[in-house]
Structure 1
Amino acid sequence: MMPYYGDVGLMQHAVRSILAQTDPNWRLTVVDDSREKGVPEWFAALGDDRVRYRRNEHNLGVTENFRKCVDLAELGHMVMMGCDDVLLPNYIATIRAVLRAHPDAGMVQPGVQVIDGAGLPAKTLVDQTKRRIYAPKVEGVRRLGGERLAISVLRGNWLYFPSVCWRTEAIQAINFRRDLHVIQDLALVLDLLQAGEQLVVSDVVCFQYRRHAVSESSLQAFDGRRFVEERGFFLDVADRMERHGWHEAAKVARKHFSSRLHALTMLPMMVRSRNWDGARMLARHTYGTGRHVG
Structure 2
Amino acid sequence: MLENKSTPINLYIIDYYKEKKDNGLNTYVAELGRAFEKIDDIALTYVWVESNNPEISVENGNRADHIFVPRFRRTADNKNQSDAYLTTVLEKHIDVKENVLIHLNWINHCSLAWHIRQKIKCKIVLTKHCVPWRDLVTVNYREFYRLDDAFNKKKKVPLNLLQLHQEEINYEFVDHIITVTDYARENLELLFNVKPEKITVIYNGIDLKVSQRTEKLRAKLRRQYGFGQHEQIVIFAHVLHARKGIVDLVKIFEEFLKDRTVHQTRLIIAGNGDGTRIAETAKRYWANITLTGNLSKSTLYDFYQLADVGIVPSFAEQCSYTAIEMMRFGLPIIVSEVEGLKEIVPLDCGLRIKVDFRKDGVTLNSKDLRQKLAFLLKDKEAAKQLSVNARKHASEAFSLEQMINNTLAVFREVSASEVRKQQEQPIDIPKQNTPFVSVLMPCYNAAAYLRACMDSILNQSYSNFELLIIDDGSTDNTLEILKSYSDKRIRLLVNKENKGIAHTLNKGLKIIKGKYLARMDADDIMSPNRLALQVNFLEKNPKYGMVGAWHEIIDGYGMVIKRLQRPVESKHLKLQLYFNNPFIHPLVMMRTELAKQLRYDPKFLLCEDYDLWTRISAVTEVANLPQYLLQYRVHNKNISSSDEKTIKQNVLNLLSRELDKLNISYTPKELVMHGAISFSYGSNYFNTQEKGKLLSDWLNKVFSSPKFTETFSQGQLNKFKRGIIQNQYGFPIK
TM score, norm. by length of structure 2: 0.31
1:69 equivalent to 2:508? Answer yes
Cα separation, 2, equivalents of 1:104 and 1:232: 29
1:36 equivalent to 2:475? Answer yes
Residue among 626, 635, 646 paired with 1:203: 626
Instruction: Report the counterpart of residue 175 of structure 1 in structure 2.
Output: 599
Instruction: Report the counterpart of residue 645 of structure 2 in structure 1.
Output: 224
Which of 1 and 2 has greater Rg?
2
Instruction: Report the counterpart of residue 677 of structure 2 in structure 1.
Output: 258
1:240 equivalent to 2:666? Answer no
Cα separation, 2, equivalents of 1:237 and 1:66: 24
Cα separation, 2, equivalents of 1:170 and 1:149: 18
Q: 1:54 to 1:262 in 2, by over 3 A?
A: farther
Cα separation, 1, equivalents of 2:506 and 2:603: 12
8 Å CA contact retained: 2:524, 2:631: yes
- How far does residue 70 in structure 1 lie from its aligned partner after superposition? 2.3
Q: 1:117 to 1:40 in 2, by over 3 A?
A: closer
1:190 equivalent to 2:614? Answer yes
Cα separation, 1, equivalents of 2:602 and 2:442: 16
Instruction: Report the counterpart of residue 149 of structure 1 in structure 2.
Output: 573
- How far does residue 158 in structure 1 lie from its aligned partner after superposition? 2.2
CA deviations over 1:244-289 (Å, ceiling 9, x no partner):
xxx69xxxx95344235349859xxxxxxxxxxxxxxxxxxxxxx9
Instruction: Report the counterpart of residue 466 of structure 2 in structure 1.
Output: 27
- Unaligned segments of structure 1, at least 5 residues: 267-288, 290-294
Cα separation, 2, equivalents of 1:18 and 1:144: 27
- How far does residue 224 in structure 1 lie from its aligned partner after superposition? 2.9
- Unaligned segments of structure 2, at least 5 residues: 1-439, 686-697, 699-734
Cα separation, 2, equivalents of 1:115 and 1:108: 22
Instruction: Report the counterpart of residue 588 of structure 2 in structure 1.
Output: 164
Cα separation, 2, equivalents of 1:150 and 1:93: 25
Instruction: Report the counterpart of residue 284 of structure 1 in structure 2.
Output: none
Partner SS, residue 484 of structure 2? helix
- How far does residue 185 in structure 1 lie from its aligned partner after superposition? 1.2
- How far does residue 38 in structure 1 lie from its aligned partner after superposition? 4.6
8 Å CA contact retained: 2:676, 2:682: no
Partner SS, residue 181 of structure 1? coil
1:103 equivalent to 2:546? Answer no
8 Å CA contact retained: 1:14, 1:87: yes
Cα separation, 2, equivalents of 1:117 and 1:258: 28
Residue among 547, 556, 562 paired with 1:117: 556
Q: 1:26 to 1:223 in 2, by over 3 A?
A: closer
Q: After TM superposition, which residue ranges in structure 1, 4 or more long, deviate above 6 angstroms?
A: none
What amino acid is aligned across from residue 177 of structure 1 in structure 2? D
- How far does residue 190 in structure 1 lie from its aligned partner after superposition? 0.6
What amino acid is aligned across from residue 144 of structure 1 in structure 2? S
Instruction: Report the counterpart of residue 279 of structure 1 in structure 2.
Output: none
- How far does residue 119 in structure 1 lie from its aligned partner after superposition? 0.9
- How far does residue 95 in structure 1 lie from its aligned partner after superposition? 1.4
CA RMSD of aligned residues (A): 3.1
Instruction: Report the counterpart of residue 730 of structure 2 in structure 1.
Output: none
- How far does residue 37 in structure 1 lie from its aligned partner after superposition? 5.2
8 Å CA contact retained: 1:26, 1:92: no
- How far does residue 75 in structure 1 lie from its aligned partner after superposition? 0.8
Partner SS, residue 190 of structure 1? helix
CA deviations over 1:109-154 (Å, ceiling 9, x no partner):
123222112111012xxx66xx4xxx32x5xxxx414xx5332122
Cα separation, 2, equivalents of 1:222 and 1:14: 24
- How far does residue 87 in structure 1 lie from its aligned partner after superposition? 0.7
Instruction: Report the counterpart of residue 703 of structure 2 in structure 1.
Output: none
Cα separation, 1, equivalents of 2:501 and 2:643: 18
1:49 equivalent to 2:488? Answer yes
Q: 1:257 to 1:223 in 2, by over 3 A?
A: closer
Q: 1:160 to 1:222 in 2, by over 3 A?
A: closer
CA deviations over 1:197-226 (Å, ceiling 9, x no partner):
1112211222111123589x945x678333
Q: 1:13 to 1:75 in 2, by over 3 A?
A: same
Cα separation, 2, equivalents of 1:103 and 1:83: 29
Cα separation, 2, equivalents of 1:223 and 1:202: 28
8 Å CA contact retained: 2:445, 2:474: no
What amino acid is aligned across from residue 181 of structure 1 in structure 2? L
The percentage of aligned residue pairs carrying the same residue is 22
CA deviations over 1:220-251 (Å, ceiling 9, x no partner):
x6783332222222112221343xxxx69xxx
- How far does residue 26 in structure 1 lie from its aligned partner after superposition? 1.4
- How far does residue 44 in structure 1 lie from its aligned partner after superposition? 3.5
**Number of aligned pairs?**
242
Partner SS, residue 155 of structure 1? coil
Cα separation, 1, equivalents of 2:630 and 2:622: 17
- How far does residue 172 in structure 1 lie from its aligned partner after superposition? 1.0
Cα separation, 2, equivalents of 1:189 and 1:232: 15
Cα separation, 2, equivalents of 1:103 and 1:82: 26
Instruction: Report the counterpart of residue 307 of structure 2 in structure 1.
Output: none
Range with greater deviation from structure 2 (33-42 or 112-121): 33-42
- How far does residue 22 in structure 1 lie from its aligned partner after superposition? 1.6
Partner SS, residue 626 of structure 2? strand
CA deviations over 1:15-39 (Å, ceiling 9, x no partner):
1111111221111000000233554
Q: 1:262 to 1:174 in 2, by over 3 A?
A: farther
What amino acid is aligned across from residue 605 of structure 2 in structure 1? H
What amino acid is aligned across from residue 233 of structure 1 in structure 2? L
